[in-house]
A and B are shown apart, each in its own frame.
Chain A
Amino acid sequence: MTKDKNLKNGAPEQVNLEKGTPVKGTLGEALRSQGVSRRSFMKFCATTASMMALPPAMIPTIARALENARRPSVIWLSFQECTGCTESLTRAHTSTVESLIFDSISLDYHHTLQAAAGHGAEEAREVAMEENYGNYLLVVDGSIPLDNPGYSTIAGISNLDMLNEAAKGAAAIIAVGTCATYGGIPHANPNPTGAVSVKDIIKDKPIINVPGCPPIPVVITGVLAHFLTFGSLPELDHIGRPKAFYGQSIHDRCYRRPFYDKGQFAETFDDEGAKKGWCLFKLGCKGPTTYNACATTKWNNGTSFPIESGHPCIGCSEPDFWDGGGFYKALSMPTVDLSQTAAYAAAGAAAAGVAIGLMNRSKKNTSNKIHVKTTLEDLKK
């Protein structure tokens, strides 16, 4: 509610973006000033612990750490993106602790959300970078075009330059959304702008990938909570995603999984199977190859997730999901017209086969021709 209110007013109150100076104070103070009860705060800590697969004994530690955490400075850069990630993160329907956590950071630069514009906005970024050098968190959404820097600029600065500059003083980088993490839709074939991800450019800073198109809000706050609690990055998987949220596939946690195991599938969007809520694999569900927390945390405040509302998972949190061969083509189907390929190959091979067969025949005919009738004389060397 707070956040919504803030947004209606144009900018979150607790972040002094116009002045470009971060609001000081601990997170605990901020929460208490927002009227968050101890009980709901502890509940959040417990949820965070369980989501990050931490033992219950860690809950008080998390609570203590979060309460005393200094609100860190956060600089948010948006490059080739659709603002969907920001929309997702700022559109919690009811006031939640996680949204407060998000509110309670010192978001010093976010050109979509901040009230300041033009030179003032850029100045805020520069001041924050200078004052918090080496300590601020850099959040990036959107991909970076490498073909021509002019494809995407902010205040005349190319995305590449801005990222390089901002990354220098960052304690860590959180790449938010599939564009920033893996190139996303701008990177999709034929990738006209030469879009790349943050990790393609920045090699010397810890990077957390929080992919999704958009990512789940609670995942972002979870990552922040971890950072605030432990002062370190959560454990990441082989493509830089926090294992706590991306450790299991949609398929493995899907409530429709039993139908898959039994071989019960919806064949179309309106058949009996679809009505009975059977597995959407045949309709192209990418759940089996998609690692995300949708099936457990769900969306819209735990209301549902795509599969629950009858649509197959499109695999948006995986690299190159856009080029995965069609959202409605089952995973085990070829992404190309294989029967045509096979038909052409067979036709061509039939012609070649006839040619080779005739060559063999003529070879055999030759051996028949050069054969001289074998007589008794020919039985010994």
Chain B
Amino acid sequence: MSATIEKGINALKRQVDSSVAAFFSSCVHCGICAEACLFYTETGDAKRTPINKTEPLRRIWKSEYTLFGRVGKMFGLTRKVTDEMLEEWQELVYDSCTLCGRCSMVCPVGNDIALMIRKTREGMAAAGQAPEGLIGATTRSVTIGSPMGVKWPALAAQIRHVEEDSGLKVPVDQSDVDYMLLLSSMEIMNFPEFIEAMAKIFDKAGVSWTISSEAFEATNSGIQIGVSDIAAELVQRIVDVADKLRVKTVISPECGHAYMAIRWDGPNLVGKPFGFKVRHVLEVLDDLHKQGRLKLAGKDTQRLTYHDPCQISRRGGVIDEPRNLINLFADNFVEMPDGGKMNWCCGAGGGVSANERADEIRLKVFDRKKAQLEEVKPDAIISACSNCRIHLEDGLEEHNMDIPLLSLTETIAEYLSDE
């Protein structure tokens, strides 16, 4: 119970680097980022313009790291970051941003606005201005090991079911294996089929793999709430186990921000490069296919489309792999308009789904996805993020649209060749 505005300001000071300074120096208030953000396009509320969400960080940059701002500060001319201000910005920084990064792709001067908002969250959290929901999820992640409070016995039970259903062995805590599979709580609780799918695929491919009983959780609430120290602690748990088991590659599951957390932020959070590789499950599958170890049989004639999870494609770089894989079994694949790196976010990422206060706006901004789907009219939607899936199902249900959601990995497992 020790968050203070001073800590928040100090955290913001720590976040300013040359890229942030270049970004803020370049903004011309053109407002184009708003048109890239579904929280603006679907609400028409100008205050949800992406760059406006970074205002706390901008004020600190201006008053602390620019000559003009510092002179202004001496005369009390700069705008201050206060508790009241941050409180007002909470709903912008947390409830109205999924860190999807579409704004970063359209900014004509090249500002990575999503990164700036992510950094702004560091100051918000340190000042005690993070939403209840995210604090709760973060607390569970640290104390229990999962934002949803999933403990090992629950996963162990799911593994037993999988083993019973499939007749395959799910290796646990095996050392010196090729792959260590991480899971999201969402998969453990809602989509245990994912584990079964992995077991089948790995069995066919003949690779060695394992799940750790100590560090199975892939998600990282520290990233979403914006506390690097906590995010680092969560990453460290995985690093410790991966090092102990001497695994070659850690697999990030079908979860967007988990991939961002372990693949791209992870080494930077813990401060040193990993001794193992990190790959998204789709990268692994694509790789196995290229090596000829993943063979599929049969075709799906349904009209299928792919929803790019932001953190996996636009922010993560896994764009071609899902398409390669889908084309292995899909006869009638259609891209969504703006599909790929410019895809529109589902509206629930970046901690929005963990923040109950944002439930209403989360469903409101689903209208964008709805419009895309109405254009494509797919028979089923494939995705590679459990959080996207849950939210898409939620949104479709809200609008009485009956389009099934498929996991790409699970679908691959269904089309495994018997050869």
Q: A residues touching B (Cβ–Cβ < 8 Å)? A: 356, 360, 363-364, 367-368, 370-371, 373-381
Given contacts A363-B13, A367-B10, A381-B3, contact A376 B64 (CB under 8 A): no
Given contacts A360-B65, A374-B125, A374-B230, contact A380 B13 (CB under 8 A): no
Report the Cα distance A374→B142, complex, angstroms. Answer: 12
B126: contacting residue among A356, A376, A377, A378, CB under 8 A: A378
Please give, as numbers and ranges, the residues of chain A lying within 8 Å of B126 by CB-CB distance. 374, 378
CB <8 Å contact, A379 and B14: no
Please give, as numbers and ranges, the residues of chain B lying within 8 Å of A360 by CB-CB distance. 64-65
Report the Cα distance A380→B135, complex, angstroms. Answer: 8
Report the Cα distance A356→B71, complex, angstroms. Answer: 12
- B229 sits at the interface (CB 8 A): yes
CB <8 Å contact, B10 and A371: yes
CB <8 Å contact, A364 and B16: yes
CB <8 Å contact, A378 and B16: no
- B223 sits at the interface (CB 8 A): no
Please give, as numbers and ranges, the residues of chain B lying within 8 Å of A377 by CB-CB distance. 1-2
Please give, as numbers and ranges, the residues of chain A lying within 8 Å of B67 by CB-CB distance. 356
Please give, as numbers and ranges, the residues of chain A lying within 8 Å of B49 by CB-CB distance. none
Closest 6 CB pairs of A and B: A381-B128, A367-B13, A374-B229, A373-B229, A381-B3, A379-B135
> Which chain B residue lies CB-closest to A372?
B7
Report the Cα distance A49→B127, complex, angstroms. Answer: 84
Report the Cα distance A235→B142, complex, angstroms. Answer: 90
Please give, as numbers and ranges, the residues of chain A lying within 8 Å of B127 by CB-CB distance. 381
Please give, as numbers and ranges, the residues of chain B lying within 8 Å of A367 by CB-CB distance. 10, 13-14
Q: List 17 A-B contacts (CB under 8 A).
A: A364-B14, A367-B10, A371-B11, A373-B229, A374-B126, A374-B227, A374-B228, A376-B139, A376-B142, A376-B230, A378-B7, A378-B128, A379-B130, A379-B138, A379-B139, A379-B225, A380-B135
- B4 sits at the interface (CB 8 A): yes
Given contacts A367-B10, A367-B14, contact A379 B128 (CB under 8 A): yes
B13: contacting residue among A356, A364, A378, CB under 8 A: A364
Report the Cα distance A363→B135, complex, angstroms. Answer: 30
Report the Cα distance A133→B95, complex, angstroms. Answer: 92
Other than the given A363-B13, A374-B227, A379-B128, 12 more pairs (CB < 8 A) read: A363-B65, A364-B16, A367-B10, A367-B14, A368-B14, A374-B125, A374-B230, A376-B143, A376-B230, A378-B7, A378-B128, A379-B227
Please give, as numbers and ranges, the residues of chain B lying within 8 Å of A374 by CB-CB distance. 7, 11, 125-126, 227-230
Please give, as numbers and ranges, the residues of chain A lying within 8 Å of B125 by CB-CB distance. 374, 379
Report the Cα distance A368→B67, complex, angstroms. Answer: 21
CB <8 Å contact, B230 and A375: yes
CB <8 Å contact, B138 and A380: no
Please give, as numbers and ranges, the residues of chain A lying within 8 Å of B13 by CB-CB distance. 363-364, 367
Report the Cα distance A371→B227, complex, angstroms. Answer: 12
Please give, as numbers and ranges, the residues of chain A lying within 8 Å of B10 by CB-CB distance. 367, 370-371
Please give, as numbers and ranges, the residues of chain A lying within 8 Å of B65 by CB-CB distance. 360, 363-364
CB <8 Å contact, A379 and B3: yes
> Which chain B residue lies CB-closest to A356?
B67
Report the Cα distance A364→B4, complex, angstroms. Answer: 19
> Which chain A residue lies CB-closest to B65?
A360
Interface residues of A, dominant DSSP: helix
Given contacts A356-B67, A373-B229, A376-B142, contact A381 B1 (CB under 8 A): yes
Please give, as numbers and ranges, the residues of chain A lying within 8 Å of B138 by CB-CB distance. 376, 379
In the complex, which residues 139-191 of chain B have their Cβ closer than 8 Å to any Cβ of chain A?
139, 142-143
Report the Cα distance A352→B94, complex, angstroms. Answer: 39
> Which chain A residue lies CB-closest to B4?
A381
> Which chain B residue lies CB-closest to A363?
B64
CB <8 Å contact, A380 and B128: yes
Report the Cα distance A371→B123, complex, angstroms. Answer: 12
CB <8 Å contact, A380 and B229: no
Report the Cα distance A204→B142, complex, angstroms. Answer: 92
In the complex, which residues 23-70 of chain B have their Cβ closer than 8 Å to any Cβ of chain A?
64-65, 67
Report the Cα distance A374→B4, complex, angstroms. Answer: 12
Please give, as numbers and ranges, the residues of chain A lying within 8 Å of B135 by CB-CB distance. 379-380
> Which chain B residue lies CB-closest to A381?
B128
Please give, as numbers and ranges, the residues of chain B lying within 8 Å of A376 by CB-CB distance. 138-139, 142-143, 230
CB <8 Å contact, A378 and B14: no
Report the Cα distance A188→B11, complex, angstroms. Answer: 62
Report the Cα distance A367→B9, complex, angstroms. Answer: 9
Please give, as numbers and ranges, the residues of chain B lying within 8 Å of A356 by CB-CB distance. 67
Most chain B CB within 10 A, of A364, A375, A379, is at A379
Report the Cα distance A294→B413, complex, angstroms. Answer: 93
Minimum CB–CB distance from A260 to chain B (whole Å) comes to: 36
Given contacts A356-B67, A364-B13, A380-B3, contact A375 B128 (CB under 8 A): no
Report the Cα distance A376→B137, complex, angstroms. Answer: 11
Minimum CB–CB distance from B103 to chain A (whole Å) comes to: 26
> Which chain A residue lies CB-closest to B10?
A367
Given contacts A371-B14, A373-B229, contact A378 B3 (CB under 8 A): yes
Please give, as numbers and ranges, the residues of chain B lying within 8 Å of A378 by CB-CB distance. 2-3, 7, 126, 128
Minimum CB–CB distance from A179 to chain B (whole Å) comes to: 48
Most chain A CB within 10 A, of B65, B138, B139, B225, is at B65
Q: Mark B396-417, 1 if CB is under 8 A from A, else 0.
A: 0000000000000000000000
In the complex, which residues 378-394 of chain B have their Cβ closer than 8 Å to any Cβ of chain A?
none
Please give, as numbers and ranges, the residues of chain A lying within 8 Å of B128 by CB-CB distance. 378-381
CB <8 Å contact, A380 and B230: no
Minimum CB–CB distance from A295 to chain B (whole Å) comes to: 46
Minimum CB–CB distance from A362 to chain B (whole Å) comes to: 12
Please give, as numbers and ranges, the residues of chain B lying within 8 Å of A364 by CB-CB distance. 13-14, 16, 65
Report the Cα distance A356→B64, complex, angstroms. Answer: 11
> Which chain B residue lies CB-closest to A365?
B14
Please give, as numbers and ranges, the residues of chain A lying within 8 Å of B11 by CB-CB distance. 371, 374
Report the Cα distance A367→B130, complex, angstroms. Answer: 21
Please give, as numbers and ranges, the residues of chain A lying within 8 Å of B143 by CB-CB distance. 376
Minimum CB–CB distance from A27 to chain B (whole Å) comes to: 70
Please give, as numbers and ranges, the residues of chain B lying within 8 Å of A373 by CB-CB distance. 229
Please give, as numbers and ranges, the residues of chain B lying within 8 Å of A380 by CB-CB distance. 1, 3, 128, 135
> Which chain A residue lies CB-closest to B142?
A376
Minimum CB–CB distance from B132 to chain A (whole Å) comes to: 9
Report the Cα distance A286→B143, complex, angstroms. Answer: 82
Minimum CB–CB distance from B21 to chain A (whole Å) comes to: 9
Most chain B CB within 10 A, of A363, A367, A373, is at A367
Report the Cα distance A377→B143, complex, angstroms. Answer: 12
Please give, as numbers and ranges, the residues of chain A lying within 8 Å of B130 by CB-CB distance. 379
Minimum CB–CB distance from A247 to chain B (whole Å) comes to: 44
Please give, as numbers and ranges, the residues of chain A lying within 8 Å of B4 by CB-CB distance. 381
Minimum CB–CB distance from A215 to chain B (whole Å) comes to: 52
Report the Cα distance A363→B143, complex, angstroms. Answer: 34
Report the Cα distance A379→B126, complex, angstroms. Answer: 6
B229: contacting residue among A363, A375, A381, CB under 8 A: A375
